[in-house]
């Protein structure tokens, strides 16, 4: 695979320092390529170009923005297989999942191609005769984006498409483990005819992350920072943006409860749980983390789910039929192992799995889980089911809400009254009732509590990159 440069001001450039960093395949740790290791000086140049591009892009018509976004989405679908292979090589997820992620990313360009033409203002009934009150939406300015490794093309696509639709320019720092998918996406943005400097990609190594992130927060020309990642890093960025009073959009960590009530359809609940828990080897922010199963259906659920987990094919995501790929790196592997070991030492029961693999972690089931255990309190980000038995509905809701994070929550029930009560009671920005597919371009994605600020996708995603201006006109 060829080495990659940054993309700044319409040119592919080496880092000003001449440094680069390695990107490795998480399955076998083989070297894929080297990538330009940018620093604050490179970032400043990118912001220079983005500022100039914004000056003209903000004057573009919705139709012009729509045409560019539509073309980018179309090019992503044209190159879906190629992009999926790059994604699997650097991230490890099964090729079918990677292909799905590319399609997912394309839907955001297609969605915001249409939504850019619906950035409506409003007419407000006037409190005074002869005076009109109207509002218009205007682009914020330069949007800086820090994207995660678990969806290395889906998340940049979701952010970039919304920002461009609103009339903003972009400076993107992809995750150091998985920068290649974003750089491949940039090739398509360039091919689609994006104006010079409109989108800039500034990759960097782990050693340079803090320098680049701090520079993004400090530069007054950056109007908004959009970050997807851990709650801890999100809090840090939030504080760093205070001096320049930037808009922040933070999609942070989750610790999703997954409740199965006695009234649930067993087959549907098991299918939903496996899909939610084991997609991307459990490395998603909305994955089912804390599993609550009502006593009357508990044994049936376990009897149904354990054979399906045992049958999962583990291996190289590039191989046909593989359902569980590697964890992203050794740090994540060690973290999952620690969480499992600490939970077992605290009294959890190991029913299945629990072993470290050469390149990941065995799908694992823990039962007899209690509050306070590591597997219950921490976001695992790995293929571990942490199961607690409960008796009453109120007990399940109490357990589910006993968490400082509220990104997503799921439950299965066929009781209409229960569906209404539980949906209302769960303290989460997104609730899936008998359904786990909650992330679509049409729907607002975002959480409560320390799971973040703002929404991505839907009309609300466009608003994250827009200012509302009030115009009051006197006709007297």
Residues 67-108 have pLDDT tens digits of 999 999 999 999 999 999 999 999 999 999 999 999 999 999
For the domain spanning 6-252+451-474, the CATH number is: 3.40.605.10
CATH class of 256-440: alpha beta
Q: Tell me how far apart the alpha carbons of residues 413 and 416 are, in angstroms, rounded to a whole number.
A: 8
In the predicted model, is pLDDT for residue 474 greater than 90?
yes
* Domains 6-252+451-474 and 256-440 are alike in CATH topology: no
Mark whether 285 is an active-site residue.
yes
133-191 pLDDT, tens digit each: 999 999 999 999 999 999 999 999 999 999 999 999 999 999 999 999 999 999 999 99
Q: What value does the mean pLDDT take over residues 255-266?
A: 98
Q: What is the mean pLDDT of residues 116-145?
A: 95
pLDDT band at 205 (very low <50, low <70, confident <90, very high): very high
- Collapsed DSSP state (helix, strand, coil) of residue 216: helix
- Give me the pLDDT at residue 360, please: 87
Q: Tell the residue number behind the tokens 């950056």, with chain if given.
A: 222
Q: How crowded is the C-beta side of 10, counted as CA atoms within 13 Å?
A: 10
**Percent of the chain with pLDDT strictly greater than 90:** 99
- Chain-centroid distance of CA 282 in Å reads 13
- Residues in contact with 454: Cβ distance below 8 Å, sequence separation at least 6, in sequence order: 248, 249, 250, 251, 446, 460, 464
- pLDDT at position 155 is 98
Domain ranges of the chain: 6-252+451-474, 256-440
**205, two tokens:** 């190594």
Distance CA 405, CA 408 (A): 9
pLDDT band at 43 (very low <50, low <70, confident <90, very high): very high
Residue 258's pLDDT is: 98
pTM: 0.96
Q: How many CB atoms lie within 10 A of CB 420?
A: 11
217 assigned to active site: no
Taking the C-alpha atoms of residue 276 and residue 266, their distance in angstroms, rounded to an integer, is 15
Instruction: Give the percent of the chain with pLDDT over 70.
Output: 100
Q: What rounded mean pLDDT belongs to the chain?
A: 97
* Exposure on the CB side of residue 300, measured as CA atoms within 13 A: 15
- DSSP-derived letter for residue 53 is H
Encode pLDDT of 347-396 as tens digits: 999 999 999 998 889 999 999 999 999 999 999 999 999 999 999 999 99
Using DSSP's 3-state secondary structure scheme, residue 34 falls into: strand
- The active-site residue out of 38, 285, 375, 403 is 285
Q: Which of 90, 101, 251, 362 is catalytic?
A: 251
Give the pLDDT band of residue 255 (cuts 50, 70, 90): very high
Span 263-289, average pLDDT: 97
Q: Which pLDDT belongs to residue 211?
A: 97
Distance between CA atoms of residues 154 and 171, nearest Å: 16
User: Which SS3 state, helix, strand or coil, does residue 151 take?
Assistant: coil
Q: Which pLDDT belongs to residue 187?
A: 98
Would you place residue 341 in the very low, low, confident or very high pLDDT band (cuts 50, 70, 90)? very high
Q: What is the mean pLDDT of residues 398-402?
A: 98
Q: Are 351 and 306 in contact (CB under 8 A)?
A: yes
């Amino acid at each position: 695979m060829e080495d990659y440069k940054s993309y700044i001001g319409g040119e592919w450039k080496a880092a000003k320092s001449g440094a680069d960093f390695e990107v490795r395949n998480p399955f076998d740790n083989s070297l894929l390529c080297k990538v330009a290791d940018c620093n604050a000086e490179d970032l400043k140049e990118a912001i220079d170009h983005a500022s100039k591009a914004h000056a003209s892009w903000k004057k573009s018509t919705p139709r012009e923005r729509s045409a560019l976004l539509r073309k980018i989405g179309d090019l992503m679908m044209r190159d879906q297989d190629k992009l999926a292979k790059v994604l699997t090589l650097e991230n490890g997820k099964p090729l079918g999942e990677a292909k799905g992620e590319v399609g997912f990313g394309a839907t955001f360009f297609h969605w915001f191609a249409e939504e850019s033409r619906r950035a409506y203002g409003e007419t407000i009934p006037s409190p005074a005769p002869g005076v009109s009150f109207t509002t218009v939406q205007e682009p914020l300015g330069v949007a800086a984006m820090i994207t995660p490794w678990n969806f290395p093309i889906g998340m940049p696509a979701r952010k970039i498409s919304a920002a461009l639709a609103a009339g903003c320019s972009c400076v993107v720092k992809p995750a150091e483990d998985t920068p290649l998918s974003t750089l491949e996406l940039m090739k398509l943005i360039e091919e689609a005819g994006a104006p010079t400097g409109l989108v800039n990609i500034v990759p960097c190594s782990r050693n340079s992350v803090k320098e680049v992130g701090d520079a993004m927060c400090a530069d007054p020309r950056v109007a908004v920072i959009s970050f997807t990642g851990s709650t801890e890093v999100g809090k840090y960025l939030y504080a760093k943006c205070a001096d320049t009073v930037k808009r922040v959009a933070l999609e942070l960590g989750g610790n999703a409860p997954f409740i199965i009530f006695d009234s649930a359809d067993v087959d549907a609940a098991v299918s939903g749980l496996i899909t939610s828990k084991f997609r991307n080897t459990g490395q998603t922010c909305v994955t089912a983390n804390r599993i609550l199963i009502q006593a009357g259906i508990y044994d049936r659920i376990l009897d149904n789910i354990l054979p399906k987990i045992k049958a999962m094919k583990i291996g190289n995501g590039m191989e046909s039929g593989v359902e569980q790929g590697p964890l992203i790196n050794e740090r994540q592997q060690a973290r999952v192992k620690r969480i499992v070991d600490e939970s077992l030492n605290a009294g959890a029961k190991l029913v299945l799995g629990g072993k470290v693999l050469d390149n990941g972690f065995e799908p694992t089931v823990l039962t007899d889980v209690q509050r306070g255990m590591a597997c219950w309190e921490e976001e695992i980000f790995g293929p571990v089911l942490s199961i607690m038995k409960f008796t009453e509905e109120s007990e399940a809701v109490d357990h589910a809400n006993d968490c400082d994070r509220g990104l997503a929550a799921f439950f299965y029930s066929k009781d209409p009254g229960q569906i209404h009560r539980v949906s209302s009671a769960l303290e989460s920005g997104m609730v899936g009732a008998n359904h786990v597919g909650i992330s679509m371009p049409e729907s607002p994605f975002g959480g409560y509590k320390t799971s973040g600020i703002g929404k991505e996708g839907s009309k609300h995603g466009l608003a994250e990159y827009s200012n509302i201006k009030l115009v009051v006109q006197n006709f007297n």
